Structure 1
Amino acid sequence: MLALNNTSVQPVVFFLTGIPGMKTAQAWISIPVCLLYVLAISGNSLILFVVFHEQSLHGPMYYFLSMLSATDLGLSLCTLSTTLGVLWFEARKINLNACIAQMFFLHGFTFTESGVLLAMAFDRFVAICDPLHYTTTLTNARIVHIGLSMLIRSVAVMLLVVLFVKRLSFCRSVVLSLSYCYHVDLIQLSCSDNRINSILGLFAIFSTAGFDCPCILLSYVLIIRSVLRIASSEEQQKAFNTCISHIGAVAIFYMPLISLSLVHRYGHSAPPFVHTLMANVFLLIPPVLNPIIYSVKTKQIRKAIIKVINRKQGRI
């Protein structure tokens, strides 16, 4: 096929893929997928609403939780149209610029969420290891600076990645293996040398999630060491209970992310549906489960949600 640069008069068109080998069942599969999107969007919107409106939740831990919900919400919304479009309407076509834009937001929100999880680990570290200086260490201004630094880091990394993707040449018609644009999937379809892009992709992962994950592990090593020094087993249990929600959020974020990256880079012999399954797990499970985990395990969030629901029922 003829290779076209992205500056060509004829725009490059990509074709998204639904569920490989299950085209006739896609309409039925779209029902649980749609339900997961609804749960993700409504759950994270509810968390943002209660944190914003409830004065008792105006503290560092809940500000970081609202950042997590905002990134999960963005992660769900940036792929909603293409995923459901493919499953419902066979709307598979997407041009290069739209694909790159979706890739930018998808990976940008992913890297931002990794940074937010690191900030939440720091929050738990200060709360448990240095509680007397908690409010003076995590001031509102410092929380804003932390949030902005995570956002700026993600944007800077992704702008570099996008710049080099724009330099690639692609074939006239190319088929992506997912229902959304994923960086590794996109550059593998290039008709030109993509080694720099692959290196940049690895750099982007290691400079964000690759840095954040060891720091989170280190923070929990220090937390565990500090908690074990507490004489009372009841106090130890109470301290560990404050970390359970965050540990769950870290697990459901990093495990699918690492698995998807490994499958895309090294799992070429794996069946196509394995790639699709991992991609959907990475995309939907964290935004769906995070609000549930925090609502169940955090008493203050649970009380605030019940309060909001009762208030709305009282108005009816």
Structure 2
Amino acid sequence: MNLFQLRAFDAVVREGGFTRAAERLCISQPAVTGHIKALEEHYQVRLLRRSARQVEPTELGRRLAAISHQLFALAEQAEDLLDTSQALESGRLDLAADSPHLVMPLLARMRERYPGVSINLRLGNTQETLAALNGERVDLALISDIAERPGLRLQPIGEARLCLLLPAGHPWVGVRKEVALQELRAEVLLQREPASLTRRTFEKACAEQGLELRAALELNSREAVIEAVAAGLGVSILYSLEVPRDPRVVALPLKGEGLVSRHYLACQERYGELRVVKAFFEVAEL
């Protein structure tokens, strides 16, 4: 088997496209395409489904990717083993995160200690981050409320509580110290998209209290939520770590059970010995 062709295939599956795969491998996009085509033609198989917007592995491609991910992870571990006597002066870390407020300070510490390491960060909601981790498109992930399972390494790094975000002119500002979920019935509620951990945690807490609070407006980012609340369109929910330093809005703690989420660094166990992954875990412990 031609390992150059297999590495090109592995990179396309990890990155979800030919352009990002070419950037990862530091070769041209036509070269990546040529490697994939040669691999498929040699074995008379179809490994990828191509469309105008995305590239996805076929069933055979998914099975091959599970092997290629492990193969190249072992190759990286072998290289790390041979370099253990040297400082971590170079390398690449692929990282996914569902909370920019938590990951950015960690990136700053990592850059300070290991300025030669190149970091590729993917920001998304919790489901997108979990998909990147499970699909082995990243080396590790900063993710909220992930369940333990065999083959997964988890390191707790903190927790956050849901808050109510209000426009600065709201009658509760300066008067109330916290708000109960039941009191939100009379408010115009703005919500994140259904895949958002913020929304799922909030709706679960409401369901446990027998509340059904419907959103008047659905927004697909925390930045959009903040701007909508600042504009006086309603109130919304976000985590305490995400409260902006913005005079237009004020956050009040929500009162009730089930409103706290825990945050973790997570990686597949087989990638845990990679030097760059170990270095990031160590930085997170500081």
- Which range, TM-score by smaller chain? under 0.3
Structure number with the higher helix fraction is: 1
Task: Give the structure with higher Rg (CA).
Answer: 2
Structure with the larger strand share: 2
TM-score (norm 1): 0.22
Instruction: Identify the structure with bigger relative contact order (alpha carbons < 8 Å, sequence gap 6+).
Output: 1
Report the TM-score when normalising by structure 2. Answer: 0.23
